[in-house]
Structure 1
Amino acid sequence: MSFKDLQLNRPILRAVAEAGYDNPTLVQEKAIPLVLEKKDLIVSAQTGTGKTAAFALPILQQLFDRQDATKGGKKVKALVVSPTRELAIQIEENFKTYCTYTNLRTTVVYGGTSIEPQKDILKKGVDILIATPGRLLDLHKQDVLNLDYIETLVLDEADLMLDMGFIDDVKKIERLCTREKQVLLFSATIPYKVEQLANSILNAPERIEVTTNASTSKNVNQVLYYVPKRHKIELCLHLLRNTIKGSIIIFRRTKFGVDKLEQTLLKNNYKAVSLHGDKSQTDRQLALTTFKTKNANILIATDVAARGIDIDNLDAVINFDLPNVPETYVHRIGRTARAGNTGTSYSFCSADEKTYVANIQQLINLQLDIVDTHPYPLDPKAKKEIHKTPGKSKYKKGRKSEASKKKKKRWY
């Protein structure tokens, strides 16, 4: 099938062709006709399957026929809600690419940056708005944003949105839009809470499941290293020196862990940048740009910061800390081997993460290849490590038994 078969008009087809896309992906093939029929949709698809275009192209097609500004200026007709700033920026870049030959206007609004320039753009009028929930509600509260004309509402990465605690915001945004709107819900996985949300806001939705939740790309070579927690940094340096080359993302569980590893790699003369929720928007954008333009070849990130970010030609993913949610492993390694390329994922497992490996293998229905020829092997009998502060008693300060109090001779 080609994009022409999807009933898209020539200006959009031209922009798609110039962006280098010949044929639609499976999710685009299934979703675009249904969106054009004005159906509500629940789409379960991993990142890297082309789902942004699956909603962007039909939305542009629907708005194309009515794109001339009315006397009152342009009204927001399509709203895309995204959980993170990086994703929102990326979605807007895609919309801009596809609407090159139309006069439809798009903009993106998100927190962590000045609100005034965003207000100015909205006052001039836009057709399509991409937003993070917090900033969207701020702008609505300040009467800068009118959601009375919304025809299509897209909730992207719905599972992540709920994990980040945005469920009340999402419901509020949905209520602020018109009742007649079309709702498109995209999610990498459909856990129970996403299902509940969908039931409460979608109207007789069509379902599209492009891959099973557990699918991992056949092009990713997945290897596993058993290593004591205290030796993970040494193993990481060892692999960077001898095995892993090219463009790499390293995942850590905490922001503190991200910062610590970044400092270590910089001291060892590696070109590394980092990404996590505590960084300012400017720093996050700078880190991403530095990585994408190959001025740094290592990006260290937490899961929330890296979810859905589109980075071409990634050679490897390192799971420095294994995720406790097995689906997260699938998202992480899906960063590499996109669009038919190959890649490798390296996972470090300490004694207390062994159950995570079992859950991951069960989900993906695959045995990970274990590499035991490395300098820091984990003793197979090793138990979960409990970190004690040297010289400290396990008892609380000042806690004494009744007996010891009685025995004590007093000087008074």
Structure 2
Amino acid sequence: MNFKNLNIIQPILNAIETAGYTQPTEIQELSIPIILNGHDIIGCAQTGTGKTAAFAIPIIQLLQNKPTTSKAIRTLVLTPTRELAVQINDNFKLYKNTLRISHMAIFGGVPQRGQVTALKRGADIVIATPGRLLDLIDQGFVNLREVEILVMDEADRMLDMGFVNDIKKILKHIPKKRQTLFFSATMPKNIRSFAQTMLKEPKEINVSPVSSTTESVTQSIYMVEPREKEQLLIEILRGQNLNRSLVFTRTKHGADKLIKTLTRLGVKSAAIHGNKSQSARQHALQDFRNNKITVLIATDIAARGIDIDELSFVINYEMPNVPETYVHRIGRTGRGGNFGEAVSFCSREEKSELRSIQKLIGFNIPVNHNTSCAFHLS
């Protein structure tokens, strides 16, 4: 199967070829024909499966095949974080190529003036975080009465972040006669119930269940007390010759504390979390991609949607308290046919989280005893 078999128009095929892609991922192969045929879709797919292109490519084609002179918003993509909004906007820019399809991202954490100016010029596609979008609707800067396609991306994360009421308010401004594309990394009962209130006779797609961890990622765990974690982190980073490493913490405070320690030791590092400005987060990501810093420390919400080529090393400095989050974290590496490594630090207080993770993924993560900081798990 290649993209030409999916009835994609030539300008988009040219853009796909320029981007260096040859074969669609599973989610793309399954979703693109369904979306092009106008059906609603409910898709369970993790970040990193090519999900954004799975809806961006057919949306561009649908809009191109039905041109209009209106400046109205025709497609609305709702997404939980600023980073994802920027990333999705970049994807639309990549795949539209020379087509006259306009798009923009709306998110908080930056002044709204530039976004309002862009909205007045008109945009076929708006990618937005719920909070900022609702603010602009309330101020009269956004009109959603002509939306033809609604995309709910990372729906589980949006509900986890408390956006459900904002989303319900936004839905009141969108025509009921529309095509709705609903994507979530997990599909528990509450997410499925929420989806059913928005969809009409949806086609369902399930790709890479959340319980699976890719074989391209080598996993190991260190049993280590909290007070020893900093020492172990430094030990491991030096053992990696300070190659690019993504480190996960549970809290913003924990991320900032680690940055101070690493900076004191001369390690080039930066943190991304909810208290950082949008520009600071984007700057840190760009520096990490360009190897100007070697360690990026992130909280889970800030890191969702990070897409960094050839990232080979992920460290769980603290165990996530939601088992599925472990899968999302280590999924940052081992992508695109590359191999990666994920190591986790587990204290005595975190043993229950480890057991929940191992139950979810279906095997025990090998314990690494190669450190003076370790203790034995009983």
Structure-2-length-normalised TM-score:
0.98
Instruction: Please say if 1:178 is aligned against 2:175.
Output: yes
Instruction: Please say if 1:202 is aligned against 2:199.
Output: yes
Instruction: Please say if 1:9 is aligned against 2:6.
Output: no
Residue 379 of structure 1: CA displacement? 5.0
Instruction: Please say if 1:47 is aligned against 2:44.
Output: no
Residue 199 of structure 1: CA displacement? 1.6
Aligned residues of 2:81 and 2:302 also touching (Cα < 8 A): yes
Instruction: Please say if 1:273 is aligned against 2:263.
Output: no
Aligned to 1:176, the other structure's residue is in SS state: coil
Deviations 1:323-377 (A, max 9, x none): 1111000000000001111000010000011111111111111221111121111
**1:94 counterpart residue number:** 91
Aligned to 1:340, the other structure's residue is in SS state: coil
> Max radius of gyration: which structure?
1
Q: How many residues align?
A: 378
**2:283 counterpart residue number:** 286
Provide the rounded CA distance (Å) in 1 between the counterparts of 2:66 and 2:377: 66
**1:24 counterpart residue number:** 24
Matching residue's letter, 1:43: G
Residue 66 of structure 1: CA displacement? 2.9
**1:155 counterpart residue number:** 152
Correspondence list, 1:163-242, <5 A = 163-242=160-239
Aligned residues of 1:48 and 1:339 also touching (Cα < 8 A): no
Q: Show structure 1 runs of 4+ deviating over 6 A.
A: none
**2:310 counterpart residue number:** 313
Aligned to 2:219, the other structure's residue is in SS state: strand
Correspondence list, 1:378-389, <5 A = 378=375, 380=377
Residue 309 of structure 1: CA displacement? 1.4
RMSD between superposed Cα atoms in Å: 1.1
The percentage of aligned residue pairs carrying the same residue is: 47
Residue 292 of structure 1: CA displacement? 1.5
Aligned residues of 2:237 and 2:243 also touching (Cα < 8 A): no
Aligned to 1:376, the other structure's residue is in SS state: coil
Deviations 1:70-98 (A, max 9, x none): 2xx42111110110000000000000011
Provide the rounded CA distance (Å) in 2 between the counterparts of 1:352 and 1:101: 55
Aligned residues of 1:252 and 1:301 also touching (Cα < 8 A): yes
**1:76 counterpart residue number:** 73
**1:407 counterpart residue number:** none
Aligned to 1:371, the other structure's residue is in SS state: coil
Aligned residues of 1:251 and 1:300 also touching (Cα < 8 A): yes
Matching residue's letter, 1:322: M
Instruction: Please say if 1:65 is aligned against 2:62.
Output: no
Aligned residues of 1:247 and 1:313 also touching (Cα < 8 A): no
Provide the rounded CA distance (Å) in 1 between the counterparts of 2:93 and 2:27: 21
Identify the match of residue 244 of structure 2 among 235, 244, 247.
247
Provide the rounded CA distance (Å) in 2 between the counterparts of 1:110 and 1:219: 34
Provide the rounded CA distance (Å) in 1 between the counterparts of 2:336 and 2:146: 36
Residue 315 of structure 1: CA displacement? 1.1
Aligned residues of 2:311 and 2:334 also touching (Cα < 8 A): yes
Provide the rounded CA distance (Å) in 2 between the counterparts of 1:21 and 1:78: 25
Deviations 1:117-176 (A, max 9, x none): 111111111111101101111111121111011111001000000000001111222221
Which shifted more, 240-249 or 206-215? 240-249
Provide the rounded CA distance (Å) in 2 between the counterparts of 1:77 and 1:162: 24
Which shifted more, 85-94 or 142-151? 142-151
Provide the rounded CA distance (Å) in 2 between the counterparts of 1:36 and 1:245: 46
Aligned residues of 1:253 and 1:321 also touching (Cα < 8 A): yes
Aligned residues of 1:15 and 1:98 also touching (Cα < 8 A): yes
Which shifted more, 305-314 or 326-335? 305-314
Matching residue's letter, 2:90: E
Matching residue's letter, 2:374: P
Provide the rounded CA distance (Å) in 1 between the counterparts of 2:106 and 2:62: 22
Aligned residues of 1:245 and 1:315 also touching (Cα < 8 A): no
Correspondence list, 1:110-125, <5 A = 110-125=107-122
Aligned residues of 1:244 and 1:316 also touching (Cα < 8 A): no
Provide the rounded CA distance (Å) in 1 between the counterparts of 2:29 and 2:215: 21
Provide the rounded CA distance (Å) in 2 between the counterparts of 1:246 and 1:156: 32
Provide the rounded CA distance (Å) in 1 between the counterparts of 2:363 and 2:354: 11
Aligned to 1:369, the other structure's residue is in SS state: coil
Deviations 1:202-233 (A, max 9, x none): 11211100112201111000010001111000
Aligned residues of 1:47 and 1:331 also touching (Cα < 8 A): yes
Provide the rounded CA distance (Å) in 1 between the counterparts of 2:236 and 2:297: 15
Aligned to 1:74, the other structure's residue is in SS state: coil
